Each structure stands twice: as structure tokens, then as C-alpha cells.
Structure 1
Amino acid sequence: MTRRVAGTMSPDLILRTLLAGTDLRAVRISATLYRIERIPKARTVRPKLSFPPPPVAPPPGDIVVTAQKRPQILRDVPLSVSVLSFAPLARSRTPSSRDISLDLEGLAMTNMGPGRNRQFIRGVADSPFNGLSQSTVAVQMDEARVTFNAPDPDLRLIDVDRVELLKGPQGPLYGSGALGGIYHIVTRKPDFEGVSGSVRLSGEAVQHGQPGTGAEAIFNLPLVDDRLAVRATGYRFVNGGWISNSGGKRGSNSAETVGVRLGLRWRPADDWTVDAGFALQDINSRDSQYVTASDDTLSRDNAFAEPTDNDFKLWHGTITGAIGALELTSATSYADHGFDYILDASKAADAFGLSGPVRFEDQRHYSVFNQELRLASRGDDHWLVGLSYLQATTRGNAQVMDDSNAAQTVESYDRRVIEYAAFGEGTLRIINQLDLTLGARLFHSIAQDGTGDDPTVNPVRISKTILSPSASLSLDLGGRGLLYLRYARAMRPGGLAPADMAASRQFDADELSTIDLGVRRSSHDGRFSLSASLYHTRWDEIQSDYLLANGLVSTRNAGRGAIIGGEITTDWTIGKGFILSAGGTVQSARLTRAADGVELDDRRLPIAPALAGRVALAKDFILLNDWTGHAAIQANYIGKARLSFDDDLDRNMGNYAVTSANAELSQGDWTLGVRIDNLLDVRGDSFAFGNPFSIRAGSQYTPLRPRTFMLSVARSW
């Protein structure tokens, strides 16, 4: 019997760790074959123990990814992918999606607050504002479509195996809303092998702010041997705030997150699996997190608080099974997402015919139903074909009210988008070690938009048939890497701008195409790996949410954009327990031509920094009495970025560096952790926006979360 091994490492290291302390060794016979044999007595040496690396982007070794809708070895995927693996227990934190944006090259996010952010990949950023345009990044949880045009629900990454980030347009496999790429959360599935679970308690202290607490639990229970099992996850976090409002209580922007996830796995036959589940998460933020004086202050003077309520529910079911030499997959999901918030609209009171303190209340409801049926090969010839049906609805009502509490409706909308699609992708070996992968998606989109007093009426109907192709050439580098060249295109259908008061309120479809040249390479022993790519993107008729003079958000076609950039990621197992990981991105993302055809000189696309980088150093060690330890330190630089390409909102942000450190000790089933974020208590403007009704009246800043100290204790069984 040997102790289990968890983490991401080469096969050599996995087998060496598993066999530590035995009289056995693994001898590599070929690229994919090992023989376990007894160690000759003359060479019997107790191998050195090794422990899992920290939760940073792992090297591209024998890592399996599924974001392309079939299991693939990462080194064989002919496009840019980043993978972030997690240990069985979150080490020193339970990260949010914004937290892990510091670990994944190419991922940028706004910083409105938990449950209010927008994600962007590789500079494909249309707007910082939460309007009704379709997102450029599609969020997926396993086989379920999570978002269409809603903000990121910020699902907490508990009992998650990994996060996969597919970069570049993914239209062939995912359709519209995948211009920038895919953010794919892969959860841990119910295990048939035995009862297991874990509990973790944590506490945090925010400098200049309030304390916070956290509790999470995971439980796995087999019901029928090798046939039926369930898995449950529950959590509650109270994150301490650090912004004070109107001289009130310190840390008014604290947030509570409560969530539950249930999963069931049934194996009715050896070649068939049924996965079903439910996820719920509620985020309640007491106030927003921007200030108006400078990014060095942590207070502002508003008439009242600006709370947010983000309620998310997901139902999903997947059936997978073998039909001869083919694999059939049927995936069904339904996401229900409520998003309500309040803003201080006093600065725009005149625009609504009001005076004095004015409150703006927006209540939105999003839903996404997705049904997909596909067939894929089970042999060496990789191909898949499928059919898909998606229906996304958005309903909302926005009101303003003054001290008398008499409500005045300023927006009322009902949008429904239906997509029918047929898609496919296949790989063909051209010559020895050179493959050609072709993919395409043909889909018909029907958008119905209605506004006014009766939003259930849909007077405007826009339909469009779209073809999204992709093609890539990939060269196998002797089983230790891949050189690839990929072209892909994706489109978003047009629609109706609900708040635009102009004569023409319709916005057209936009189209994005990217050429990506990349390489993925690892050393023979798996101790060093490198991934790098260069990309060029052309974006026509950019759909962009923008602010009207009264502070409401509408949508338009802003013009043409161009993005040129490069990325690099390296991981190096130095030896003696040290692991070094580093990465960086440099890019130029610009609006080059306005909607009227006028050539532009310096209009940067929003949010995406021109330069970003990270470096992390980790150390695994063994203490007395069988305690194992892990410590790491990480530094990130976020370069300069712009808020918007509009003249009156073209404001700078970014240009700061932050560091974090963490350590943990484990013995048996117990783990103690400590973590410090923003180690040097750096001040910086992470997002130059907070309130659309007062942004034109003066500067706004979203300061970084101050130094935060966290302690945790966990037990597993």
C-alpha cells in the first residue's frame, strides 16, 4: 500500500513518489509505457519524497483538458490553453475568479465587486459597463453553459479539479459569445470508491477594514458499489470590507457568499455514465467599492449605500456512453441568474426631472437553457459532430426615485435569443507528425427585443445565419511538445439597444478573427516546460455598451479594432523542493477606426493592460514528526490600462505591483494554512469606475484590497 499522490507533475515523478519507500521502481520503456520492477539490491535507494506544487499554472505535461468537449492531452491541443490545477483541499485560500486572474496569462477582469465583474481574454474587451450586449467570454461549468450576457457570477472554486482557459475565438464549438474564449470550471465528480470528505474553517483580517470568516465542507458518499455515488459541497464566506461611506462604519463594502453544490453520478452499465447536479450561490454585497478622492483613500461621501444582490442557480445533466466505436454525449443545462443593485443617481437627478438625493434601482433576470447532442470518435482519429439548441432570456426593470419614494421607470426590457446550431471538428494526419484540424459551426440566431411598459411583447425580431470556422496546423515535437498555427473566427448577432434615444436603435452583428502561432515544449524529464504564442486579432463592427448622458447604458457598433500580442509561461522544478513559475503578456489592443470610418490614432480597447507579468517561487519540505510543509511567494505586475475609448471617459488605471505569500503544514488528515495578500499594502487603481451617474462629474477609483491576513484549518477523511 502506498499513500496517494495529488497534484500536477510528470509521470516519472508520479510513479517515483508512489513507489517511495518500497523495493520497486518504474522503468520507462517507451513514451507511454512503464514497467514496474524490483530494484536490484546493489542500487536500493530510498527515493526522495516530493509533494504537490502550489496552485499556479502547471507545466504542459500529461495534463488532460476537456474544454474542447472531449478528453485531450494538453500537449496535443493545437490552440492556446492555460490550465490552473487545484489540490484536493484549497491550500491557503478559496479563490474567486478575480483571484485566479493573477495566475492565468491573458485573463483580465473589471473590479466592480463580487458578482458584478466582466471577464476578458487577450484584449477582446468591448466595454467596462454591465449593459445588455453578449459577453465576449463564455463561462462553462463542466458541460453546462453558465452565462450569455450576464456578468460573471463569481462561482467560488471549492471542490474544483481545475480551471481551463481557452484563448481566442471558440465559435466552432461554442457559438456566439465566445469571441475572446472560454472560462471552463471542471468540478470533482462523485467517487464510487469510498466515503470521504473535508471541512475547512478560515478567518481573515483586512488592514484598514473589517474581519471576515469562512466555512466550507465537502462530502462524498457511494450508494451502490461501483454504480451510484453522490457528492455535496457547502460554503459560507463573509469577506471583510475596506471602503467607508459618509463617515459611517468602517468597511461598508463587506460581502457574504453562501453556496451549495450537489452532484450525482450513476453508472448504469460499464460504458455509460449519467452525471446530474444542482448549484446555488448567493452573493450579497453591502456597498460598492469605489472612491472619488484618489486611489490612496478608502472612503467616499455618498447619500446612501449601493448594495448588490446576485442570486445564481444551475441545474444540469449529462449522459455519456459508447455506441460501438463512437461516444455519445447528451448535455442539458438551465441557469437562472438574478442580478439586482442600487446606485446613487443624485448627480443625474436633473436628467430625470428630479432633485435632491435620487436612488437608481435595477432588477435583472437572466436565464440560459442549453441542450447539446454530439458524437465523437473513441479511437486515434479525433473528430466530433453535434447539434445544439440555446435559448437565453434577459428581463429587466430599472427605476429612479427621490425622497418621496415615487418610482419612475426609466428602462424596461425583454430580450430573447434562440440559437440552432450544427457543428463539428476533426483532425487529419497530413504527413508524419503534422496534423490538420478543421472545425466549423453553422448556426441560426433569432433575437427578439421588446421595451416599454409591457416588456413581454417582442415587436422587434432580428435573425441571422452565421458560419464560424477554424483551422490549425500542428507539428508534434517528438512527444514533448507541439508547434501550432491556428485561425479562427466567431460572431455575435445584433439586437436592439434598450436605452438609446436615437432614431436608429438597432446594432449590427460583429465579427472577430484571430491568427495564433504558438509552441508548447517540455524537457525530457518533465522538470522544465515552456508555452509561448503570438497572436493577431481583427475585430469588425465592435458591439460596445456605452454611457448615455443620463448615466443609463446602451449598446452601439463602435468601429473596428486590432489586437497584437504575445504570451509566455514557464515552469521549472529546480530541485531540492523548489518550483519556479513565471509568465507574462504584452499586447496592443486598439480601436483603429470609428463607426463612421474615421481612422483613429490612440484609442485603446478597455480594461486590457498593455503589459502584465507574474513570478512565483514555491518550496516543499519535510519537518519532524512527519509534518510536511509548503511555502510560496508570488509577485504580479498589472500594467497601464484604459477605462474606455470614449473621449470623456478615456481614463488611466493599473500600473501597480502586488505580492502575496502563503504557507501550510500538514500531518495526516490535518492541514494548517496561513496567507497574506497584498503583502506590502500597495495602493493602486484597479478599476477607474464605480458609478455611471457620477463618473462624468469627477474621477473615480477602485483601490486595491489592503493587506489581508488569513488563517485556516482543515481536516479531511
Structure 2
Amino acid sequence: MGATRSATDGTVAVVLAIALGAVCASPARGEGPARAPAIPAGSTERALAALAAQGDEQILFDPRLVQGRRSPAVPPGMPLPLALERALAGTGLSLRRVGPGVLVVVPDAAQAPVAATGPDVVVTALRRPTLLSGTNASLVLVSAETIAARRLTDQQALARVLPELAVTPTGPLQRRLAIRGVSGTGEGTVGVYIGETPVSAPGGTGADPAAMAPDVDLVDIERVELLKGPQGTLYGASSMGGTLRTLFRRPEADSITAEVAVEGGITARGAPTSAASAILNVPLVQDRLAARGVIARRRSGGVIDNPRLGYVDGDAVTRESERLTLTWTPAHDIRLDLIALAQRQRIDDAGAWRAADGRDRAAVATRPRSRSALSLVSGTLQWSPRSLRVTATVSRYRWTIVRELDFSEVIERQRYDPAACARVTAAGDGIGCDPVVLAAYVDARSPALLHQPMTVRSTSGELRVSDGGAGSWRWTLGVFAEHRRESVDSFTLRADAATGGVLRPFDVTGLRSLESSLDQQAVFAEVERDLTDALTLVSGARLFRYVRAGDGAVPVANLLTGTGGIASGARYRSAAGGSNLKAALNWRIGSDTLARLVVSEGFRPGGVNITPELSADERVYQADHLWNYELGVRSQRLGTELAAFHIDWDDTIVAANSVNGAFLYNTNLVSVDINGIEALASRSAGPARFTAALAWVDARLAADTLLGTSEGIGHRGDRMPNMPAMTIMLSGETRLSRISPTLAIGAAVAAASSSRSTFNATSPYHERTPSRVTVDLFARWSSRAWSLRVGIDNAFDADAITRIQSSAFGERQVYTSRPRTASLTIARSL
């Protein structure tokens, strides 16, 4: 393990050395600033294009914004900054810097038009700043304004405005993300980026990092970007289904600003909610160096009662986070961003109720408590010499999770297991199976909890170099390396029969310990070539290598579940390498319509199952792979977007249950076919704005396949589990006043169709999750310094069941959206 770590840390160091070498070895600039050629009076669009071609600045503008505007003549030899200022004189437009070497043309505040489809924004989803209106990719943006207006606090809330993003609860503080129906166990199918850092959870005992998607507080967020389809030719960490990026607001070096906010809420049949946050922005060196600090606290009161143990509202969730960002801009073409983040979460119960006990009730024998703590540091250097854009990022994070699950029903099921009976009888020097001895042992070890502390540590580095974005050729080249280590101790413990909590000191029934590592390196590139003024060809590739290793030990064998079947000290290793490809044809139709045809490839590494009682074939699961075919069109003028896609997914990695139900392990399906349609329409009419979005996903087995030890056969045409075929979002908002103070009111509807919990409807654990509809109402009042928001989430108190799950751990466990919650938020800017 030590040698592996040293080698991979060395790879990360090489990434940084290349970045620094590129900076130091770059050709010196010519003497003095760039100067403008002679530009006659005339079209503003032509003047901006001519000036961009002469200098080292990338100038972004919406053609509709400059259409019909005229610029005065620019004399030859004028320094470029002054020439740009002159070209925009009298046009009602100005320039705003959005990054090193990148300027965007914006309307002056007094003349800002109200677009029928909403304002244009700068995004970086394609790894270079582009205007959203000109970004020909399957991309959805959630702005800071939407996050505040809709009270979006986490990923579960994001799904209310992103029907393309499926969020499935998998346990306490756990959610699995999926885009376009690409959902499986193992490595995450959705790449989750916190800033520039890809973050993955520990895999636990089931080698399933995808079950616990990283989820940061959405406080002081600039925007969230959701890219759909495989992402590997521009993102070093790659992803099969898509990528979710959370981008924080950067420090501003021109003035001191601050904001404080407090929130209180009441919940039907549950405990109150509360939240507070504080933001402070401080320039340390005027226009050069600034710091921004964020502190946030949120407590969501519980709603689930346990009549057996005698407590109510037990599943309260507490979230605490701190973030410090430093931005240093020594020159207009260099910026260094440093981020330090810490976040902690805690839940005081399992977070699911039991259908047999009634709504919001779970009469179970234990009270599992789970918590997590994520700490992350990263540094990103962006440098824009005359014809290049260089970005180098290094990141390190540590994520510790302590997960507890009720294990009483699993222990109880072993009362009738002949293998468990033989193990327990033999431990007492008996022969064969003595049911009386087994029954006494089961009673002595009940009630039971799984207590699983697990930690993942990751160090990664990425270097990207791209051209300046001008001309008919555009390209990006990058390298990426990551070393990830994780460990988990899985205790089976006896719980206190009176309180349901873990007995201390631990009363151990069994303990197994697992360690694993994942090393990955990749080289990726994407090239764009303008074939005509309207057609652009895009091609990309990613070369990769993965090495996964793991071992396990059983300090205390669990006689009931048979964990002694793991050979202590045995080490397992798997490796994979290869390439992903991408090709696209982009078509610009007129001035505001974009169409695209995309073929792209996705890949996830396989691995080994360190699980008891598996055969040699079951011990290893293979890598899975998919091809994504997409046809899309977007009209900025109409405010509409439509995409249709088909996905061929081979060797799909999914979870299977062990024979006794105590363990999960990864296995491969033969193949899955996915077809889908995504649609978005947005329109403004005077002070009102309306948005509608839809995602239809039909994900089915493409061939008969063995589902695992106890699941039987899945048949061609069986639907993917826990994946609604249809999700819909509708929202409307109107401003009742246009001058400060402003007042706006709005409403939103989120809906999802039903889904099934297993491929095979004959499975003993098959459940049907019904369709759901929730309605949110909100109103916002804001002045220059104060803002107030009143909202009612789930206004009609719908059940809104997000998942019904049955397993050996318990039958018909029900996860739901929070009951009707009315909240009041007050914020003050300083």
C-alpha cells in the first residue's frame, strides 16, 4: 500500500510540475500591451471580433445583444483596453471580466433588456468560459437566484428543479444519483464535482461508492451545472451518465461585503426546522487578493416516531459547514483560487418508516444513528498567455462516515438457517445442528445494530491546456491522476433493548475489516473544427488506466451470518485500461438556434467483492461500458430545448444479495437499453416567467440475465429498478413590483411516475413505489439591504414516497419527501 501511494502521489506531483513548467517556459510577451488596428465606424459585432483577434482576451457576447448596434471608429495603434472601451462607447454596453483573459459583454444596468427567455449567463461546463446561449451541449443550469427563490438546500431539493436528475435514497444520509437512467452500484455513474474537485464516497462493505453521493450545503453558490451524457473527453475523472458541478461564489477584491440569514419553519406532524448562515467577503489587497468565508447551520426536525421505544420525531438531521476561499489575481491573465471546506452531518434515526406500522411510524427494536464529516482543500491556477488557457488543479479530501443500520431482522432470520445452526453448535463443541442452542444464541445477540465507520482519502491533480477560443480550430488537452484509499470496519453489535442505541462498551457479535485503493490516470482531449459558418465537428478521446486492490480480515467471526468465510489477509487486485471516444456535429441555425448530433462512450472500472460465501466467479465483477447516441436542439428565441437519446449499456454493474440476505455484492448484467426524451421550455411575459421541464426515461434489460444468488432471472424488457419513467417540473413566478423594494410570488409543481424496486416482479422483495406530486408556494420581498422569503414546501402535504424498499434488513421501508413545511427566511446584506 505504501509503495502504491508513493507512486501515485508522484504522478500528482508530475501534473503540478507540468503546470508550473508551462508557466515558466511560456514565451515572453511582446513589449507593451496589444494595440488595435484601424477599425472603421460600423457594426459593433465586427469591431469586437476584430479587437478579439488582435489581443490576448477572449470576448464573449450574445449576437442578439449587439445586433443593430454601431460603434465609432477606432484609430490604429490604440492600446487594446482603450480600444475596447471606445468600441462600446454609446452602445449601452460594457465589459465585465469573468476570468483570466476572459471578458463578457453585458448591457449597462440602466439599459438592460428583459429577454423573453431570461438573461444569458457565462458557464464553464465545456472547460472554457462560454455564454449559455452559445453552448451547444446537453447542459442545464441552476442559478443562485433559483436556489434562493426555491429554498434549495441540498441534492434532494435540486431534484425538484432538475427532472433529469434522479435522486434515490439508499439509507441514512445516503442518496444515489442517476442521469438518463444510468444507475448502478460500484463507482458513481454521475461525476460529482465540488468546485474543480471530483469527490467520491467510501464504498463500504459492498464496494458501492455510488450509494453515497457527496452533498454540500447550497449556501453562497454561484451556480450548479448539470451535464448529461458521458463526460470523459473534458473531465479527467470521467462519468458514464453525466456530471453535477457545484460552483461557489468567488471572493471579490473591490469591497467588503457581508450577509447574514436566519430561517425558521414548522412541519406538519413533525418537529420544527431552523437554519442560519453568515457570509463575509474581505479584500486583503485592493483588486488583487480577497478572502470569502461562509458558515452555515441547519437542523431539520424529525417526523418519524418509534412507538416501540417510545420516542417521537426521532430522525432529526443536523448539517454544519464552513468554507474559506482565497482568490489572488496578480495580473489580469492569472488567477489562483484556494478553497478549504468542512462539512458535518448527523441523523438521529434511520430516516424511513415502516408501512406495517403506519405513516411516519417505525416500531423497530433499535435506533441507528449515523454521521459524516467531509474536509476538502483544493487549489486551482488559471493562466491565460496570449494564445493559451492553462488550468492546473490539485485537491485533497478526507470523508469519514459512521453508518448504523438495524440488523435485528437479519439476525432473527438466521434462527432457521441450517448453516448458522451448524456454526453456532460447533462453537459450543457440539455436533451437527442443535436448534435450542441456536435459538438461545440468537436471543442473546438481539437486538442488533450494524455499526460501520468508514473513511476515504483522495489526492488528485488535473492539468488542462486549451487554445484561446478564437479561429476555426479549438482544442483542449488534459491529464488527470488520482490516488484513493479507503477503509471500513463493520461491527455487528448488540443494542440496548430499552433505548435501541449501541451498548458501550461494544458488545461485539462480529467484526470484519476491509481496506482498498483505487489508482487512476487519464489523458484526455477534445478538438472542435468549424467546417462552415454553421457546422462544427467535435471529436474527443480519453485514454485511461485503473488499478483497484483490496484485502479483508475478520478479527471476530459472526457465527450467525458466516463472515468467517473471508480469508483474512487475502489480497485481491484488478486492473483495466482502454479508451473512450466522442464525436459530435454541431449546427447553428440562424442566430439563435443550435442543433447537435452526439455519439459518446462511457466506462466504469470493475473490481472484487470481499464478501463471505461467494464463488470464485462471483468474487470478481467486470467493468461496464456504454455508448450514448443523442440528437438535440435548442432555440434561445423560443426558450425551448429538446433532446432524444438512446444508450447501449453492456455488463451493467448492479447489486445482488447473498443467500442469507446479510450481504450485498456487485455483479454484472448482460446489457441494458435506455431510450429517452428531455424537454425544456421557458418564457417570460412582462413581469411573469414560466418554466416547464420533462424527462422521459425507458430503461430495460436488453437480454435475459441472471440477477444474482437469490434474485432469480431478469427477463428482457424488465424495467430498471427505482427509476421513474417520467419526471416533470412546472414553475411560475411573477414580480408584483419592478423597483426596489421588489415583491415576487411563485409556485412550482414536481411530479414523478411510479417505479419498481426489483427487475423481477416475482422477487420476494419486489415493491412498487407509487407516483408522486408535490406543490411548493413561495413569496419573496427584497430591498437593497433586506430580503424576506415565505414558503410552503409540499403545500398539500402529499405522501410523496420516493422509495419503498424491502430486504432481509426489513420489509416495506418507506422513504418520503418531508411533510408540508412552512418556512420564513430573513436575510440582511451589509
- TM-score normalized by structure 1? 0.88
Shift of 1:427: 0.3
- 1:645 maps to what in 2? 759
Distance in 1 separating the partners of 2:154 and 2:357: 23
Cα gap change, 1:176/1:552 in structure 2, threshold over 3 Å: closer, same or farther?
A: farther
Say whether residues 1:330 and 2:440 are aligned partners.
no
Contact 2:511 2:554 in 1 (8 A): no
Alignment of 1:325-364 (within 5 A): 325-350=387-412, 351=414, 354-355=442-443, 356-364=446-454
Q: CA offsets per residue over residues 222-272 of structure 1, 9 Å max, x none?
A: 000111100011000111111111353321111110000110011233321
Residue in structure 1 matched with residue 267 of structure 2 by the alignment: 206
Taking the aligned partners of 2:721 and 2:88, their CA distance within structure 1 comes to 50
Instruction: Name the structure 1 match of 2:489.
Output: 397
Does the Cα contact within 8 Å between 2:172 and 2:349 map onto a contact in 1?
no
2:74 alignment partner in structure 1? none
Q: Indicate the structure with greater strand content.
A: 1
CA distance in 2, matches of 1:12, 1:424: 28
Aligned residue number for residue 132 of structure 2:
74
Q: For 2:324, which of 248, 259, 262 is the aligned residue?
A: 262
Cross-structure match for 2:719: 604
Tell me: CA distance 1:51–1:286, structure 2 relative to 1, closer, same or farther (3 Å). Answer: farther
**2:589 corresponds to which of 458, 477, 499:** 477
Partner of 2:175: 117
1:36 aligns with 2:36: no
Find the aligned partners of 2:788 and 2:114 in 1 and give their Cα distance. Answer: 16
**Unpaired segments ≥5 residues, structure 1:** 1-9, 16-25, 39-46, 128-132
What is the alpha-carbon distance in structure 2 between the residues aligned to residue 59 and residue 95 of structure 1?
26
Q: Residue 440 in 1 paired to residue 440 in 2?
A: no
Give per-residue Cα distances to partners, 1:259-301, cap 9 Å, x unaligned: 0011001123332111111111100011122122269611110
**Counterpart check, 1:633 vs 2:747:** yes
Q: Are the equivalent residues in 2 in contact too, given 1:27–1:35 (CA < 8 A)?
A: no
Query: In proportion to residue count, which structure has more helix?
Result: 2
Q: Cα offset for 1:630?
A: 1.1
CA shift for structure 1 position 358: 1.2
Which letter does structure 1 place at the counterpart of 2:133?
R
| Residues 1:280 and 2:342 aligned together | yes
* Distance of aligned partners of 1:485 and 1:634 in 2 relative to their CA distance in 1, 3 Å threshold: same
| Counterpart AA for 1:116 | Q
Structure 2 partner of 1:517: 631
Task: Specify which of 180, 189, 202 is matched with residue 241 of structure 2.
Answer: 180
Q: Larger RCO: Structure 1 or Structure 2 (Cα < 8 Å, ≥ 6 residues apart)?
A: 1
1:184-583 superposed matches below 5 A: 184-246=245-307, 248-293=310-355, 297-350=359-412, 351=414, 354-355=442-443, 356-380=446-470, 381-402=473-494, 405-453=506-554, 459-504=571-616, 505-523=619-637, 528-548=638-658, 549-575=660-686, 577-583=687-693
Assess if the C-alpha contact under 8 Å between 1:630 and 1:665 holds in 2. yes
Separation in structure 1 between the aligned mates of residue 332 and residue 172 of structure 2, nearest angstrom: 42
Question: Equivalents in 1 of 2:527, 2:253: separation in Å?
Answer: 33
C-alpha displacement of 1:49: 10
What SS does the corresponding residue of 1:79 show, helix, strand or coil?
coil
Task: Please state if 1:64 is matched with 2:122.
Answer: yes
Relative distance call for 1:323 and 1:204 in structure 2 (3 A) is same
Question: What SS class does the counterpart of residue 173 from structure 1 fall into?
Answer: coil
**Structure 2 CA distance for aligned equivalents of residues 521 and 713 of structure 1:** 37
Report the residue type matching 1:146 in the other structure: V
Deviates more, 1:480-489 or 1:548-557: 548-557
Q: Classify the secondary structure of the residue corresponding to 1:609.
A: coil
| Superposition deviation, residue 112 in structure 1 | 4.5
Number of equivalent positions:
672
CA contact (8 A) 1:639 1:654 kept: yes
SS in structure 1 opposite 2:405? strand
Aligned to 2:737: 622
Distance in 1 (alpha carbons) for counterparts of 2:118 and 2:629: 22
- Structure with bigger gyration radius: 2
- Displacement after TM superposition at 1:459 (Å): 1.9
Counterpart-to-counterpart distance in 2, 1:52 and 1:159: 25
Provide the C-alpha distance between the structure 1 equivalents of 2:516 and 2:510, rounded to a whole number of angstroms.
Answer: 18
Contact (CA 8 Å) 2:195, 2:245: kept in 1 or not? Answer: yes
Pick from 682, 689, 705 the counterpart of residue 818 of structure 2.
Answer: 705
Separation in 2 of the partners of 1:330 and 1:176?
A: 14
Alignment counterpart, residue 702 of structure 2, candidates 592, 600, 605: 592
Give the aligned residue type for 1:233. V
- Bigger Cα displacement from structure 2, 647-656 vs 606-615: 647-656
Matching residue within 85, 97, 106 for 2:164:
106
More displaced, 296-305 or 456-465?
456-465
Of stretches 218-227 and 346-355 in structure 1, the one that deviates more from structure 2 is 346-355
Residue 183 of structure 1 deviates from its aligned partner by 0.6
Residues 174-196 of structure 1 deviation map (CA, whole Å, 9 limit, x = unaligned): 35661111010111111111101
Separation of aligned partners in 2, 1:35 and 1:607: 57
Structural RMSD (CA): 2.9
Residues 639 and 500 from structure 1, CA distance in 2 versus in 1: closer, same or farther, beyond 3 angstroms?
farther
Q: Which amino acid aligns with 1:249?
A: Y
Per-residue deviation, 1:88: 9.7
In structure 2, the partner of 1:141 is: 194
Structure 2 CA distance for partners of 1:94 and 1:534, relative to 1, 3 Å: closer
Query: Post-superposition shift, 1:410?
Result: 4.9
Deviations along 1:491-550, whole A, 9 cap, x unmatched? 111111122522120111110110010001121xxxx40011000001100111233233
CA contact (8 A) 2:461 2:481 kept: yes
Shift of 1:654: 3.8
- Shift of the 702–294 alpha-carbon distance from structure 1 to 2, 3 Å rule, reads farther
Matched residues in 2 for 1:471 and 1:232: separation? 42
* Other structure's SS at 1:347 match: helix
Q: Is the 8 A contact 1:284 1:308 kept in 2?
A: yes
Q: Cα distance, 1:61 vs. partner? A: 6.2
Deviations 1:626-649 (A, max 9, x none): 421111100111111122325333
Provide the rounded CA distance (Å) in 2 between the counterparts of 1:224 and 1:458: 56
String of CA shifts for 1:596-626, please: whole Å, max 9, x gaps. Answer: 59882442112221011111110012289x4
Deviations 1:553-596 (A, max 9, x none): 21111221110010100100012x11010011112111222445
Match of 2:7 in 1: none
Please state whether the residue corresponding to 1:329 is helix, strand or coil.
strand
Distance 2:545 2:123 in 1: 29
After the TM superposition, which of the residue ranges 77-86 and 166-175 deviates more from structure 2? 166-175
Distance across 1 between alignment mates of 2:276 and 2:484: 34
Alignment check: 8 A CA contact 2:69 2:91 kept: no
* Alpha-carbon distance in structure 2 between the residues aligned to 1:494 and 1:551: 22
Q: Distance in 2 between matches of 1:572 and 1:411?
A: 57
Distance in 2 separating the partners of 1:481 and 1:438: 21
8 Å CA contact 2:70–2:91 kept in 1: the answer is: no
Q: Which amino acid counterpart does residue 489 of structure 2 have in structure 1?
A: N
CA 1:554–1:157 in 2, change beyond 3 Å: closer, same or farther?
same
SS at match of 1:117: strand
Q: Please state how far the C-alpha of 1:409 moved relative to its aligned partner.
A: 3.4
Maintained 8 Å contact 2:703/2:717:
no
Letter in 2 for 1:600: H
Compared CA separation, residues 60 and 73, structure 1 to 2 (3 A):
farther
Q: Say which SS state the counterpart of residue 125 (structure 1) adopts.
A: coil
Task: Tell me if structure 2 keeps the 8 A contact 1:514–1:537.
Answer: yes
